[in-house]
Structure 1
């Protein structure tokens, strides 16, 4: 008889399935790892069971203890499942954008759920990660799972998800595509592949509004903003993310994610969540680029049962504008290409204020990117900062630019989506386009307006 001792032994060994209808006949083959078929319904079962088993072996989880974690819902269900089998109490913190189904499923396991606001900074005491840390500190005999920064998170995928994919494909594939939330899946599988077959491209997927894509290409932190797709992306950097094993990142928006997830349900019979749509959207895009004869592997992270009242409902999709016409505006590099070529005026940190003002006057601009000693854009100097400094006496014409230059907040990569520019324009006057540590161009609001009007997007 083939009988598992308990449900925890049933985690993993999920099937690898070929996509047939959402991929074109001349495209590369796309294979999906059906992680939504894990016992609690998501890939997070692997990480939760691994982290908790290791913690129990190390003696850091003790009888009568409480397990605390911040979760978008999926990790919580894996943890709650483990705790139900082992007999532990659970307390979870969740952002308020998560589906009612996820909250109720955690409560069904007997867990306590604390709902926190979504649109707060990552270091806010109200942020769901900071709330979980506080609960763990204040609760006697508590164990904080800490999935974002726990090295056992990517280890779970290096030692289970990746070997399964390797065995199922016999190593015969060209690209691995995975969304990045905590970064555990893409980092763990990526680490395995870089040791086993470094020629296989590891591609991260990040929703517009998350920080991974921007940080990967600019090494600076953007201002995150809210997006609707769940279980992918993040507003903070996680130590579980190993950027060195990721070759490239691609961005996806909410509409693309939800539209593809709905197609997977209706055309492929795969009842999956929005982050599965994110992964497959990028995988299908790459399949068109690579063409026949190549193979792409991606993952379907969670089950669609969590989203019955959200994107699987036409009314919800319509309310948020996701059933309308596709308004893909293009890439930042498209805006640059449409602009007349012009010299990019900059200042050095050692330049005087008088020199910077003279360059602003000649260029007809109100701000200048400031380059560091290695000629990389590091800061920005604005005419308003100069005016305030001169008025207060904090600077003179002979002061250096470094005295009042502010951290640069508007860096963006040429391959970023144009929608990302709107985030920058909320807090910065212009976007500084950076490629290979050098400034490729400057984009203002009027540049985007002009581009959209020419393309008929207005």
Structure 2
């Protein structure tokens, strides 16, 4: 058995596992590289070590210094593992939308956690990246790891991940599939495999359906740590320098539901408790494998552990609340669900007329026209976005407007029809998953709300009114 002098020596060397059950029926062999078996629990341990070593070598990080990074969690954890073991202070700026488990893990390793939003324009002073940059300016001896633009990030995978896959498959790998976050993993690993194979290896990017990397509209999605979200008020959308677009041959765009359910299948059918970005990558790899022959070998990278997402993708309540899960809680559960209220009006196109919303840049006059068609005269206010091929995400709901309140304000002279809606936006309407029982929907409404936004796969599909829930009870 190997003996390590430090935790840094245990980074890398992760195994490949054949996906025998999920890959059943495909002629090509599909192998998963289990990066969650790194010492810090993710593929980001590799980049963290490479970036720290490069910073020390270049004199950017000195004894007693402070490592600072903006992270969805995993890179921060890797930097905490490496940095704390080498005597550095570590501050991780974490997205307020990241799973809470990641912040808990960071604190367990001795890192300081600063939560900040990412669902605002990049130019906003409170955006995570700007908060982190201010910390670097304020703290003497601070070094920003800057995984998005640090060449040591993809370099780590040119030097380790790519060679490992080539050796583990005996040079037989034909397709490499990975998600794209900063782009370092797919760029570095893909570059090495292309070069060593003489260009024979195909590199496939697994991307959330609405991520702009693969051609989506940039609206929110529910898979953490991969993809590229763009706030509609962002003025300059710069892509990471760690992402080398020329390395990726093609994309597989995966809807959230497919990603999340594949993640759960990985644990239950293959014994691999991995995170939701692994589900995205595996779903893409299975699509790729279905078109290949017995001579092909597909390697898919599983970035992190499912232990960081127990409160999300592995929680039935969370999945049901966002509309990703619809089967009964138990075989004996026969209580009608929210879907049963909507189905009578459904046709092949969904639930026509059941979803109305006011965009945040609308005038009160425009809002009135919308509110007069809304169930109960209330509607959500959603983030204005020029193009919505996927509808709007539940994460884009900013608040609500009431027909009665708008009419009252105009009649009293407190507002004019041409005014923006900003001044009259009230609390956001509650949300309910389409597969939740009616009793749960009524509980969500409480006494203060008359309508709820119905979610299917994390996106709004309808409004349901209190009266409808009562009638169906």
Using the size of structure 2 for normalisation, the TM-score is 0.67
Alignment of 1:113-132 (within 5 A): 113-132=113-132
Matched position secondary structure for 2:205:
strand
Between the aligned partners of 1:420 and 1:297, the Cα distance in structure 2 is: 32
Unaligned runs of 5+ in 2: 230-236, 328-385, 397-460, 463-473
For the 8 Å contact 2:116–2:126, the answer to whether it is kept is yes
For the 8 Å contact 2:210–2:390, the answer to whether it is kept is no
Q: Which residue of 2 is the match for residue 211 of structure 1? A: 212
Q: Which residue of 1 is the match for residue 278 of structure 2? A: 276
For the 8 Å contact 2:262–2:280, the answer to whether it is kept is yes
For the 8 Å contact 1:210–1:233, the answer to whether it is kept is yes
Q: Which residue of 1 is the match for residue 148 of structure 2? A: 148
Q: Which residue of 2 is the match for residue 28 of structure 1? A: 28
Between the aligned partners of 1:291 and 1:130, the Cα distance in structure 2 is: 48
How much has 1:25 moved relative to structure 2? 2.4
Q: Structure 1, residues 233-277: CA drift from partner, whole Å, max 9, x if none?
A: 123511100001110112112211110010000000001110110
Unaligned runs of 5+ in 1: 215-221, 326-408, 411-418, 427-456
How much has 1:130 moved relative to structure 2? 2.1
How much has 1:29 moved relative to structure 2? 1.0
Between the aligned partners of 1:22 and 1:199, the Cα distance in structure 2 is: 25
How much has 1:14 moved relative to structure 2? 0.4
State the superposition RMSD in angstroms: 2.2
Structure 1 pair 420/22, CA: closer, same or farther in 2 (3 Å)? farther
Between the aligned partners of 2:116 and 2:146, the Cα distance in structure 1 is: 17
Matched position secondary structure for 2:318:
helix
1:266 to 2:268 alignment: yes
Matched position secondary structure for 1:90:
strand
Q: 1:295 aligns with which of 289, 297, 320?
A: 297
1:231 to 2:225 alignment: yes
Q: Structure 1, residues 300-338: CA drift from partner, whole Å, max 9, x if none?
A: 10011101111101111111111138xxxxxxxxxxxxx
Structure 1 pair 280/420, CA: closer, same or farther in 2 (3 Å)? farther
Between the aligned partners of 1:289 and 1:423, the Cα distance in structure 2 is: 33
Q: Which residue of 2 is the match for residue 257 of structure 1? A: 259
For the 8 Å contact 1:14–1:37, the answer to whether it is kept is yes
Between the aligned partners of 1:150 and 1:268, the Cα distance in structure 2 is: 35
Matched position secondary structure for 1:147:
coil
Between the aligned partners of 2:167 and 2:71, the Cα distance in structure 1 is: 31
Alignment of 1:77-96 (within 5 A): 77-96=77-96
Between the aligned partners of 1:126 and 1:295, the Cα distance in structure 2 is: 45
Matched position secondary structure for 2:214:
helix
Between the aligned partners of 1:320 and 1:115, the Cα distance in structure 2 is: 23
Q: Which residue of 1 is the match for residue 200 of structure 2? A: 199
Q: Which residue of 1 is the match for residue 98 of structure 2? A: 98
How much has 1:422 moved relative to structure 2? 3.7
Between the aligned partners of 2:138 and 2:211, the Cα distance in structure 1 is: 30
Q: Which residue of 1 is the match for residue 465 of structure 2? A: none
How much has 1:223 moved relative to structure 2? 5.2
Q: Which residue of 1 is the match for residue 443 of structure 2? A: none
Q: Structure 1, residues 137-174: CA drift from partner, whole Å, max 9, x if none?
A: 22111000000011111000011000000000111021
Q: Which residue of 2 is the match for residue 241 of structure 1? A: 243
How much has 1:423 moved relative to structure 2? 6.5
Using the size of structure 1 for normalisation, the TM-score is 0.69
Between the aligned partners of 1:280 and 1:202, the Cα distance in structure 2 is: 14
Alignment of 1:53-452 (within 5 A): 53-197=53-197, 198-214=199-215, 224-235=218-229, 237-324=239-326, 420-422=389-391
Q: Which residue of 2 is the match for residue 413 of structure 1? A: none
Between the aligned partners of 1:209 and 1:137, the Cα distance in structure 2 is: 34
Structure 1 pair 2/22, CA: closer, same or farther in 2 (3 Å)? closer
For the 8 Å contact 1:68–1:132, the answer to whether it is kept is yes
Between the aligned partners of 1:273 and 1:323, the Cα distance in structure 2 is: 17
How much has 1:420 moved relative to structure 2? 4.1
Q: Structure 1, residues 19-60: CA drift from partner, whole Å, max 9, x if none?
A: 011112244211111101000100000000011011112221
For the 8 Å contact 1:182–1:240, the answer to whether it is kept is yes
Between the aligned partners of 2:257 and 2:26, the Cα distance in structure 1 is: 25
Count the aligned residue pairs: 330
How much has 1:232 moved relative to structure 2? 1.0
Matched position secondary structure for 1:120:
coil
Q: Structure 1, residues 389-441: CA drift from partner, whole Å, max 9, x if none?
A: xxxxxxxxxxxxxxxxxxxx76xxxxxxxx845479x9xxxxxxxxxxxxxxx
For the 8 Å contact 1:118–1:226, the answer to whether it is kept is no
Structure 1 pair 26/249, CA: closer, same or farther in 2 (3 Å)? closer
For the 8 Å contact 1:204–1:246, the answer to whether it is kept is yes
Between the aligned partners of 1:291 and 1:169, the Cα distance in structure 2 is: 16
